[in-house]
Structure 1
Amino acid sequence: MQSISWRRRCLQPSYLKGFLNNSQRDVLLGSRNFASRPPGFSASKPPSAKARPFKDRPAPVDGNKPSSGRHKSANESNTRETIYIEETLFTVARRWFRRRSVKVLVFSLSAYLGYTLYNWQTDPHRSLILNPRFFTPFIFEKRDKVSSSSCILNLKSVPAGQNADNINEAWETGVWSVLVMQPELQIARAYTPLPPRDGDEPEQLRLFVRQEPNGEVSTFLSTIYRGTLVHCRGPHIEYEIPADVDEILFIAGGTGIAPALQVAHTLFNYRTALPDQSPKLRILWANRRREDSYQGPVSNSSQHFPETGNSKFQSISAAWFGKPAPKPEETPATKPESTSNNDATNPLQPQTILVEELEALKSHHPDQLEIDYFVDEEDSYVTENILRRYLGSNNEEQSDHDLAARKKKVILISGPDGFVNYYAGPKYWRNGVEVQGPVEGVLRKIDPKGWEIWKL
């Protein structure tokens, strides 16, 4: 009884709308109507006058058994057509669910897992304190412009007072970073926070961001509005400054000045040594454009290449920062005046924020901090000869006893991959972990004795 009822429902047009299109439904309904018409009726064309009369057709041999010929009884045709409709309906329905249900199920499951993971990582009730495992929300407060392509983002902890202890502990250690997440694409990038300025909250994060054309995270940070939640994870310690360090030479390229400021902040605020034993820090900051370091005077020790022979260093600069080198005809004589050395001390051009902070540190610690600025537009580069000059007095032949008696001396390199590779060689991945790798490049040629080299 149940099967008969199902067959009847299958033949109703309302039950076919959800599974068949109009053409398929017309075919099936036409087959159903065909069963109730005379055997001589054709759905494709009207009955022909030459059609054989029904009464002249041979009857079944046995009343209980139909003949083996081509002519069937009306009841048998109706049964066969009903079975055909039922099988067709099940086939179409099975194909429809098989094709669509798997895709819908996979999409729904992926969306649910992604939404659950995002809420789990960014739940403000679960992770209000900055930690290396989960993302913590910070509020974007303001943006300070540094140049046409870079800025400093100020992120405020919510609620206030939650992250003072662990951030202060990171400052005591040395160089550290945080991962910042782009919420739409669920990707993260590491940024090195700048030290807090006078009057800033100790738990406030200041990120030096340079917007890259294809950088998803940098574009997100450069376009958000005040009050936007920015999720960070960390701190991740990248280099712990030794307690017995005596001197640090920091080679910074572009945004690599951020960890250099971290080192200065740690040395001058958390190393309680005697004044005559305070560690010394020399920063060599290289930029492609003068706008990144306005009012940063170029050191007298900077090496200039006023002739066309500087094409070698122009190509090196292009490899450092991933930008095309100046064209051959762009010699210093044909360059605009805005790229001349006079811009470094142009009183009409204000200092950039980072130069202002560096010069303030230098004025407070004149005997411990030295800063040299290098600008590619002005043909000023950190060359091998300059590094030999800085390391020459410490690179002389010394006995093992003399080296053991002296405190640690460290060379830190930070910047774009090409910049770090040129001076110290690339870092490598081993078993899923990034390792330092052997020292190569310029520093391998110099081979400074008694200096530890670390790539950031």
Structure 2
Amino acid sequence: MRSLHWTRRCYQSSQLPCAITNSRKLLSLRVQRHASRQSSPGFSASGPANPRPFKGKSPAFDGSKPSESPHKSVEEDTSAKPSSNNILNRLRIRPGKVILFSILGYLGYKVYTWQTDPYRSLILNSKFFTPFILEKREKVSSTSAILNLLSVPPGQNTENVTEAWKKGVWSVQVMQPELQIARSYSPLPPPEDAEPEQLRLFVRQEPQGEVSTFLHKINRGTLVHLRGPHLEYEIPQDVDDVLFIAGGTGIAPALQLAHTLFKHRISSLEDGPRLRILWANRRREDSFKGLKAQHSQEAVIPRLRGLAARWQGSAGPQSKEAQEDVPAPTNQSQTALVEEVESLKIKYAGKVNIDYFVDEDNSYITETVLRNHLTSIEHSLEQTAEDQPTRKRVILISGPEGFVNFYAGPKFMKGGKEVQGPLRGILGKIDLRGWDVWKL
């Protein structure tokens, strides 16, 4: 019995090293698993990632916790935080590849910014801004001027500018480089001896207008960036009569319309439509220059004398001026823009008619004026087109926003786009059956 007990103790003592060895292997495996979890994202632990192998009695036998060594090496402290090289090694990415990918990404970004650079395009288009150079600026009045712009280098925008003139009323956007804002302007028709790609902008300087102030301050040789053309109204092929109501700089689209109709659309003047332009300005200097106050007084005094003589019941000594309307001053001269308008009227006599209205002279485009013009157009149609098919008649309104709203009502935003909206204002009070109205 005693020998058997001793044999069992010897057997147990002989297996004890094997049990300790197995326990150590199991503990080392658990420590490795713990370290791998610690290196994974989102996992935090306080223990070291690669602890030393446990020496002594295995905690599997007595359940006691191993005592932490008071002496920890620097290598043990840094091993808990995986370095960038360890991460790259685990991801099997070499630093050379990271550098290569970074260079390729940077080059791709530079190519993208170069392609989308608003100053890159040299051909006038509706997506990017194109540089034009200011050749000269011709002053029209104290607040308005005509800017002549040429593409850089010359000769590359002839085709697309010429094509824009064939369609109808169009505009370009001008960018203010410091504030990065843009405004739309309708180019004036090119003169006979001008380059086909030349763009002429009629700009009035507004007190709070950032772009207009910029265009009035820059010197010759300054680059002006344009984007376009943007077609605002395509002229119908079968149009027969056009009534254009223009306010201030709104005369530019009216001249565009005349240029397209009589330069690119018709083969002979007899086949062309009739165009009547009503041009309103606030100041007389926008239409005529050199007018002085004394001439207005000289014209009013004979009229007052004539009215006084009529009131007294006697004709009295009246001059010829008192019996007629107020005559135009003899020393008035036309502005450069009015000269173009008048030359257009002379060149297409019988087809183009232009009337001027000035607020300073108490001359306005009233409802009565519009009705009279529409009645005269209707009367001429009855006399000349009895046996001809009915063709389109169009009324266009262009000018400042308040001007357009007064005559035709405001436009509205719908679906992120500007739409015409219902017809209101003065034209909304008139029976316009057979007329199409378009707000520019």
Give TM class, smaller chain.
0.5 to 0.7
Give the secondary-structure state (helix, strand or coil) at the position aligned to 1:139. Answer: strand
Partner residue of 1:232 out of 221, 226, 232 = 226
C-alpha distance 387-424 of structure 1, shift in aligned 2 (>3 A)? same
User: Counterparts of 1:144-163 in structure 2 under 5 Å?
Assistant: 144-163=138-157
Change (3 A) 1:139 1:403: farther
Matched, 1:387 2:370: yes
Runs of 4+ in 1 over 6 A off after TM superposition: none
1:31-52, Cα deviation, whole Å (9 max, x unpaired)? xxxxxxxxxxxxxxxxxxxxxx
| 1:279 lines up with 2:273 in the alignment | yes
**Aligned counterparts of 2:134 and 2:376: Cα–Cα separation in 1:** 47
Alignment RMSD, CA only?
2.9
Distance 1:226 1:444 in 2: 45
Compute the displacement of 1:249 (Å). Answer: 0.3
How far did 1:199 drift?
1.1
- Scaled by the length of structure 1, the TM-score of the pair is 0.61
Matching of residue 435 in structure 1 with residue 432 in structure 2: no
The AA in structure 2 aligned to 1:373 is Y
Provide the residue aligned with 2:243 in structure 1.
249
Alignment length, in residue pairs? 296
Letter in 2 for 1:433: K
Q: 1:393 to 1:351 in 2, by over 3 A?
A: closer
Q: Which one-letter code corresponds to 1:199 in the other structure?
A: D
Query: In structure 1, what is the Cα distance between the partners aligned to 2:336 and 2:249?
Result: 13
Do the aligned partners of residues 341 and 434 (structure 1) sit closer, same or farther apart at CA in structure 2, a change above 3 Å counting?
farther
Partner of 2:370, secondary structure, is: helix
| Residue type at the aligned position of 2:434 | G
Deviations, residues 262-293 of structure 1 (Å, cap 9, x unaligned): 00111110112443321110000000100000
- The 8 Å contact of residues 248 and 410 in structure 1, kept in 2 or not, is answered as yes
* Matched residue type, 2:140: V
Q: Does 1:378 align with 2:361?
A: yes
Matches within 5 A, 1:91-106: none
Give the residue type in structure 2 aligned to 1:218: S
Partner Cα distance (1:341, 1:176) in 2: 39
In the alignment, structure 1 segments of 5+ residues that lack a partner are: 1-111, 298-305, 307-339
Partner of 2:135: 141
Q: C-alpha separation between the residues in 1 aligned to 2:231 and 2:340?
A: 23
Residue 308 (structure 2) pairs with residue 363 (structure 1): no
Deviations 1:347-377 (A, max 9, x none): 3x43101100000011111110000000010
Give the CA deviation at 1:296. 12
8 Å CA contact 2:269, 2:348 repeated in 1: no
Conserved? CA contact 1:252–1:283, under 8 Å: yes
The 5 Å alignment of 1:44-443 reads 120-123=117-120, 127-294=121-288, 345-347=329-331, 349-393=332-376, 405-443=389-427
What TM-score, normalized to structure 2?
0.63
Does the aligned pair in 1 maintain the 2:262–2:269 contact within 8 Å?
Answer: no
Q: Distance in 2 between matches of 1:436 and 1:227?
A: 39
Pair 230,403 (structure 1): closer, same or farther in 2 beyond 3 Å? farther
Q: What is the Cα deviation at residue 434 of structure 1? A: 0.3
Q: CA deviation at 1:424?
A: 0.7
1:454 shift after superposition = 0.3
Contact 2:393 2:435 in 1 (8 A): yes
Letter of the 1:440 partner, please give it: R
Residue 433 of structure 2 is aligned to residue 449 of structure 1: yes
In 1, the alpha carbon distance for the partners of 2:375 and 2:289 equals 29
- Describe the SS at the equivalent of 1:264: helix
Q: Deviations over 1:11-41 (max 9, x none)?
A: xxxxxxxxxxxxxxxxxxxxxxxxxxxxxxx
Give the residue type in structure 2 aligned to 1:444.
G
Helix, strand or coil at the partner of 1:354: helix
1:357 is matched by which residue type in structure 2? E
1:393 offset after TM fit, Å?
A: 4.8
| Matched-pair identity in % | 64
Aligned partner of 1:233: which letter? Answer: R
Contact map agreement 2:409 2:422 (CA 8 A) in 1 = yes
2:221 aligns to what SS in structure 1?
A: coil
Structure 1's 273 and 451: CA in aligned 2 closer, same or farther, altered over 3 A?
farther
Q: Is the 8 A contact 2:205 2:216 kept in 1?
A: yes
Question: 2:257 & 2:390 partners in 1: Cα distance?
Answer: 21
**Partners of 2:151 and 2:329 in 1: how far apart?**
38
C-alpha distance in 1, partners of 2:375/2:185? 34
Cα 1:407–1:141 shift into 2, 3 Å: same
Kept in 2: contact 1:394–1:448 (CA 8 A): no
In our comparison, the structure showing a higher alpha carbon Rg is 2
* Gap regions ≥5 residues in structure 2: 1-108, 292-299, 301-324
Indicate how the Cα distance of structure 1 residues 253 and 182 shifts in structure 2: closer, same or farther if over 3 A, else same: same
Q: In 2, Cα distance between the equivalents of 1:346 and 1:146?
A: 20
Q: By how many angstroms is 1:405 displaced?
A: 3.2
Tell me, in whole angstroms, the C-alpha distance in 2 between the residues paired with 1:268 and 1:289. 30
CA distance in 2, matches of 1:160, 1:231: 15
SS where residue 249 of structure 2 aligns? helix
Cα distance, 1:345 vs. partner?
Answer: 4.5
